[in-house]
Every structure is written in structure tokens, then in C-alpha cells.
């Protein structure tokens, strides 16, 4: 299992950050190479296509925890991405917020997957950090 936790501070209150985060249909405006569709609330499904068609993959998810303004957790149920992810919002002083993204990925292929992820991990992290920085400027203005 691989765990990755990244965060970004946003110049917006938790309500605005939450609303931006769970606006799945517009997530492609800030998330690198991703198009998302899905529902809102525990038990609802989300589908994210990552890449540029026809090159990419579908990441299907089920929302397993839904605490508006605070936390959304998903279970990755697709063939490529497995594990869980949590998206959390923390209130900060000055009407600001922190968006925390954590992934607990189940790596395929045993030791081969572990070794492969060591190579891919920096690129994966760079992509998420790019997306989080874009989110921090996009969310307050959407």
C-alpha cells in the first residue's frame, strides 16, 4: 500500500472550498487531465476519466463517507486505481481553508508494483500538486 497526503491553502471559507471540491462536473477545470461525473452523498458513484481520449483510464469510485464542509472519502473500484482517498477541508483563520488530499493506494503486482510506483510516485505527486495549486486559485473565483 502507498500513502500520499498533500494539501493546499485556499483564500476562501470552507463552504466555498467544499462547493468547489464536490462540483464534479467542473473538476476538469482544475484537475490535470481529468474529467469527472458523479453524485453527491454517501453511496453515490463517481467516474473519473484520466488522460486524453483514447489514451487514459477510467477510475470508478463509490463515496463511502460524506460530511459536508469537512470530508468526502471514496473507494476506488476500477481496474487501474484501487484503494481509498479522502478529501478534507479545514477552516483556517482569516476566512481561509486548507484542502487536504490523501490517497491510500493498493498497488498491483506485488513487489513489481511497489518498485514501479517508486518510479511513478514523483510524477503522480507533481500532477496532484499542480492540480491543488490550480484549485487554490480556481475555487475562490468559480
Tracing cell 500532477 back to the chain, one arrives at 127
Q: How many CB atoms lie within 10 A of CB 137?
A: 12
* pLDDT digit string, tens, across residues 34-54: 999 999 999 999 999 999 988
Domains of the chain: 2-141 (3.30.530.20)
pLDDT score of 46: 98
Distance between CA atoms of 84 and 28, rounded to whole angstroms? 20
pTM of the model: 0.93
Flag whether pLDDT at 110 surpasses 90. no
Amino acid at each position: 500500500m502507498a500513502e500520499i497526503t498533500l494539501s493546499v491553502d485556499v483564500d476562501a471559507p470552507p463552504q466555498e472550498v467544499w462547493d468547489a471540491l464536490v462540483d464534479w462536473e467542473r473538476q476538469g477545470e482544475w484537475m490535470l487531465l481529468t474529467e469527472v461525473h458523479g453524485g453527491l452523498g454517501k453511496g453515490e458513484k463517481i467516474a473519473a476519466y484520466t488522460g486524453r481520449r483514447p489514451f487514459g483510464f477510467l477510475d470508478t469510485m463509490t463515496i463511502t463517507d460524506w460530511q459536508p464542509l469537512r470530508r468526502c472519502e471514496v473507494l476506488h473500484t476500477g481496474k487501474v486505481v484501487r484503494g481509498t482517498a479522502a478529501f478534507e477541508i479545514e477552516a483556517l483563520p482569516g476566512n481561509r481553508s486548507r484542502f487536504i488530499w490523501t490517497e491510500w493506494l493498493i498497488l498491483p503486482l506485488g513487489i513489481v508494483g511497489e518498485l514501479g510506483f517508486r518510479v511513478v510516485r514523483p510524477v503522480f505527486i507533481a500532477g496532484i500538486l499542480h492540480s491543488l495549486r490550480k484549485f487554490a486559485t480556481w475555487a475562490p473565483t468559480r
